Structure 1
Amino acid sequence: MTSMNVTCLNSCSIYTSEWDTAMNKLYTYFYLIIFIPGLLSNTLALWVLCRFISKKTKAIIFMINLTIADLAHVLSLPLRIHYYIQGQWPFGSVLCLLCFYLKYLNMYASIAFLVCISIQRCAFLMRPFQAKQWKSRYDVCISLAVWMVVGLGCSPFILMRKTSGNGTECFKDLPMQKLDFRLAISMMAAAELFGFIGPLVVIIFCTCLIVNSLRKRIQKEQSTGNTRKALRMVRVCTGVFLFCFAPYHINFLFYLMVTQCIITNCEVSRAIKQFHPISLCMASLNCCLNPLIYYFLTTEFKQQLASQGSSVLRGRLMSTESTSSYRE
């Protein structure tokens, strides 16, 4: 790093002990809030979705993989909470990098599977005859390919970090490897293009196709429940995508410009740096929002929950009646 860059970063620095304490509290409280809902909702979703794995036209396999990605991140949250409370990492550098890696793996795997869900619902709506010939193993193969591509694509996030000498620092406190400016720009551009802009274009395109199809069918008075459900599915995918991932990816471009001293205005630099952890928290929120897709937009999911709830209620009523008759 040149002396000019060092001067630029130091003159607009916000990293004080007060700022560090505030960030630790932000991460701690946020992860505590989303841990229990994320764990319960995704565990329940995984159990219910696995019961309908044969529903090949409902994107069930993609939803299962999306749930697995969310659970992987949720299960790492207790270690993150421990670090931000205690201020030290006692679990070794390998586990530190693994937890760090899982956050970005969850983010980009979620993006990829939201795209897969949107494409499949749109394609099956446009060509229903092909949906009948579609095999579940095709979804399995696509899912395996997604995991391989996303897994390799997220590897630079840990390769660019280096563990501290004493091994007590992790996550936001990990120092960044020094990279050539052109290489850093190329990597970030690729991440933005393939991890955000491309998926966003695909999801919006699917939404537009389904909206046009719905309008045509309404005009012909041929609108069906499947058409409206597909539209709701893609719209919710778009909403979750934009709310969770757009703030991070938009801000990260400016964050990179700040670190490279392309943006030198101190007020703007501080605002960008301060919003960076907030955008990361918003990205983590997807592990709680994704189950809403399964519950509100998958008929079988709601039916299964309703049947399980009614069976439990019947069991309790029968138990109460038997106990009352015994007492009488």
Structure 2
Amino acid sequence: MENDSDVSNDTIHFHYPLFTSVYGLTLAIGLPLNSISLWVFFTKLELRTAPVIYMTNLAISDLLFVLSLPFRIYYFATARWIFGNLVCIVSGTIFSVNFYTRSLLVTLISLDRYLAIVHPLNSRSLRSPKAAKVACAIVWLIVMLWSIPIGLYHQTITGQLNVTRCYEGFSFGTWQSAFVLISLVITMGFLVPFIIITICFFAVVRVMIRISKESQDFKKYKIIRLFLINVGVYVVCFVPFNFVLILYGMHQARYFSVRKIVQLFVAHAITVCLASISSCLDPIIYYFTTDAFRAFSMKSEKDTHNTIQLTKRKHQTTMDGTSPIT
């Protein structure tokens, strides 16, 4: 970030403790939650269905994101980069592309649910596990292609007092050349997916309105809740982030000048934090909106209950010397 003459030092550096706190909290919550999610997906659900495959890839993306945070936490806590240029490139790139990896994967989840509700019979081949794996592979290929140019802009910079910086301090020339890339990634990685997710949501709602409220159809209403939460996360976490990022990039590239740069600077820092905490929300969404997670949880509770009952019965048998009725 380039220091503007009309921004005080206190304003410039307020984001250091803010980022340190938010990233630390995101790491503390996101690391165990996403790790547990992956454990459940791989060991209990075994990637049998397309939604599970999509959510597994989403959990992998979120886990990679939180694993990049320790470097940011140290940097913003000390205002000094000590890990070298390569770590700066890798951690900065993972952080940046995660926002759009998530967008593409949530789009696949929304499309899968749209096909399952609106075109259940004609879309079976498109909702197969094999098709889901191919779709995820395409997403990761796109992300890898985006990572190459994005990584070129995440270089260490030696600033005043010979202090090495990372994630900030970009020059006017860097912002100008990067703005085209920022616009392209936001368009293809956020705007288009957001439009698709919204269209899928309203299409599903339209179909559900026509469905009679019979017990056999009740479970399908959970799909609407999943869509609603996905759209809500986008609105809260990603719409402000991408909108402010475009304005901030245009200002830094000198395409237009913002009089109240302090407010824009603060808005940029806050929206980055909002987008970051979304990696903690996904595992919560999995649990409360995914039948598979709930079924696994209920099964675990049932197994635990049965084990306790069996232990009690064995204990009773040992105490009174009688055998339980079977």
TM-score w.r.t. the length of structure 1 is 0.84
**1:199 pairs with 2:193:** yes
292-301 or 83-92: bigger deviation: 83-92
Secondary structure at 1:27 match in 2: helix
Contact 1:92 1:167 in 2 (8 A): no
> Which residues of 2 match residues 1-328 of structure 1 at below 5 A?
10-14=4-8, 16=9, 18-50=10-42, 51-57=44-50, 59-133=51-125, 134-165=127-158, 168-171=164-167, 173-176=168-171, 178-179=173-174, 181=176, 183-218=177-212, 224-267=217-260, 269-312=261-304
Contact 1:217 1:223 in 2 (8 A): no
State the Cα distance separating 1:148 from its structure 2 match: 0.8
Residue deviations 1:130-165, cap 9 Å, x none? Answer: 454443111111111100102212333321233224
Contact 2:175 2:253 in 1 (8 A): no
CA RMSD of aligned residues (A): 3.0
State the Cα distance separating 1:10 from its structure 2 match: 4.1
Structure-1 separation of matches of 2:199 and 2:109 = 13
State the Cα distance separating 1:201 from its structure 2 match: 0.7
Structure-1 separation of matches of 2:294 and 2:129 = 22
Structure-1 separation of matches of 2:255 and 2:182 = 15
Amino-acid identity (%): 25
Q: 1:60 to 1:10 in 2, by over 3 A?
A: closer
Contact 2:93 2:147 in 1 (8 A): yes
Q: 1:11 to 1:210 in 2, by over 3 A?
A: same
Contact 2:88 2:155 in 1 (8 A): no
Q: Match of 1:193, as an amino acid?
A: T
Residue deviations 1:269-328, cap 9 Å, x none? Answer: 221111111111111111111112211111110121233245456657877998999999
Contact 1:118 1:203 in 2 (8 A): yes
Secondary structure at 1:146 match in 2: helix
Structure-1 separation of matches of 2:30 and 2:188 = 27
TM-score w.r.t. the length of structure 2 is 0.85
Q: 1:179 to 1:54 in 2, by over 3 A?
A: closer
82-91 or 160-169: bigger deviation: 160-169
Segments of 5+ residues of structure 2 without an aligned counterpart are: 321-326
1:3 corresponding residue in structure 2: none
Structure-2 separation of matches of 1:54 and 1:327 = 46
State the Cα distance separating 1:174 from its structure 2 match: 4.6
Q: Match of 2:189, as an amino acid?
A: G
Structure-2 separation of matches of 1:175 and 1:313 = 58
109-118 or 186-195: bigger deviation: 186-195
Structure-2 separation of matches of 1:270 and 1:248 = 16
Segments of 5+ residues of structure 1 without an aligned counterpart are: 1-5
Q: Match of 2:289, as an amino acid?
A: L
State the Cα distance separating 1:69 from its structure 2 match: 0.3
Aligned length: 314
State the Cα distance separating 1:242 from its structure 2 match: 1.7
